[in-house]
Amino acid sequence: MSLGSGSQLNNAERTETLQELGLLDVSFDPAFDRLTRLASKVLQAPVSLLSLVEHHRQYFKSHIGLAEPWAERRETPLTHSFCQHVVSNGQELIVTDAREHPLVHDNLAIPDLGVISYAGMPIRSGGHVLGSFCVIDGKPRVWTADELDILHEFAELLMTELKLRQEIRIHQQDIRERERLQNELIGLQQALLDELSTPLIPLNDQVLVVPLIGALDQQRAQRMTEALLTGVGKYRADFVILDITGVPVLDTYVASLLVQTSQAIQLLGARMVLTGLRPEIAQTIVSVGLDLRSVVTYSTLQQGIEYTFRRK
C-alpha cells in the first residue's frame, strides 16, 4: 500500500506548526465549516474536507458529507489518506478514478470511505504543507480547469484565515510577554524600593543602622519590620539603631508596629535603639498607651551610636 514520504510527514517543524496553530483535536470551527460547505455546493461534490496530516493520521478539521463512523471520529489512519500525498509532494493531487491511479489505487479509502475521484490543494503555513483542502466524489470524475481554479481559491481563503490566526496568536504572545516583562520590572522596582526604603547599614559587626527618610505608611512599615528581622539574623547584630529623624509623622498603627518590632528583635537576641524621637511623635506613642520600656530612645542618631559603643 502506497504511503506518503516520511520525511515531510515526520518533519518536526511542520508538526510544531500544526500544534502552535491549535487546529488539532478541537471543536468544530464555523469559519472553516462555511468554506467546506460552500465548496461542496459550488463544485457539486458530495464530500469536502479540510484535512490536517500528522505522521500517523489525518485529522478532519472541517468536513461536509463524510459518512459514519468517520464523520464522528474526524480522523483516519494514513492507510485511508489521499491527503498525505499532497503533504509529501507539496503540490495538488488530482485523481479522476482512484482505482486506476498508480499512487492511490490500493488505498483503503476507496473501499472504506467510497473515495473514487479526488481533488486536493495544499494548505501551507509557516513554509510547510500542513494538509489539504479537498473535494471527493464517489464516482469517476474529470475535474475541469474552472473547478480546480475555484478549489484553489478556496484553499487560498483557508490559508489567509490561517495566516490571520497565526498573526493574532503571535500578537497575543507578544502581549503576554510584555505583561511578563512588565510584572518582572515591577517586581525588580519593588525589590529596589524595599531595599532603598529600609537601608541596612552595618556600622560594625555588632551594630546595624537603619536611617528612615520620608513617610512611613503601613505597607512600608511592614516591609521595614521584615527587613529589620532579616538583617538581625543575617548580620547577627547585637543592636539595631532605627533612626526616624527623617520621618515627618508617625501614625498609631506604625507606632504600635515599632514597639512590636522591638520586641521581636529582642527575641532574636538583639536590642532596638530608636533615635530621632521628637515631641510630637512621642505624644503619638503615649496617646495610644504603648509601652516603650523595651525600646532605648534618643533624640539624635549620634547619641544612639554612642550608646551602642558604650555597651560593647
Enumerate domains of the chain plus CATH numbers.
6-172 (3.30.450.40), 201-311 (3.30.750.24)
Quick check: 237 pLDDT over 80? yes
5-19, 116-130, 182-196: the lowest-pLDDT one = 182-196
For residue 190, the model assigns a pLDDT of 66
For residue 53, the model assigns a pLDDT of 94
| CA-wise closest residue to 159 among 190, 184, 122, 196 | 122
CB 115 within 8 A of CB 138: yes
> Is pLDDT larger for residue 51 or for residue 266?
51
| CA-wise closest residue to 43 among 64, 59, 58 | 64
The answer to whether the pTM exceeds 0.75 is no
Q: What span, in angstroms and rounded, lies between the C-alpha atoms of 119 and 194?
A: 67
Quick check: 5 pLDDT over 60? no
Distances in Å between the alpha carbon of 248 and those of 204, 297, 300?
A: 28, 17, 15
pLDDT band at 57 (very low <50, low <70, confident <90, very high): very high
pLDDT, mean of residues 49-59: 94
Give residue 286's identity as a one-letter amino acid code. V
pLDDT, mean of residues 147-175: 90
pLDDT, mean of residues 57-64: 94
For residue 3, the model assigns a pLDDT of 56
- 271 burial class (0-12, 13-18, 19+ CB within 10 angstroms)? buried
For residue 54, the model assigns a pLDDT of 92
Give me 281's grid cell. Answer: 511623635
> Is pLDDT larger for residue 92 or for residue 193?
92
For residue 300, the model assigns a pLDDT of 93
Q: Which residues contact 264 (CB under 8 A, 6 or more apart)?
A: 225, 229
For residue 194, the model assigns a pLDDT of 58
| CA-wise closest residue to 235 among 257, 256, 207, 215 | 207
CB 200 within 8 A of CB 188: no
pLDDT averaged over every residue in the chain: 87
Q: What span, in angstroms and rounded, lies between the C-alpha atoms of 130 and 84?
A: 9
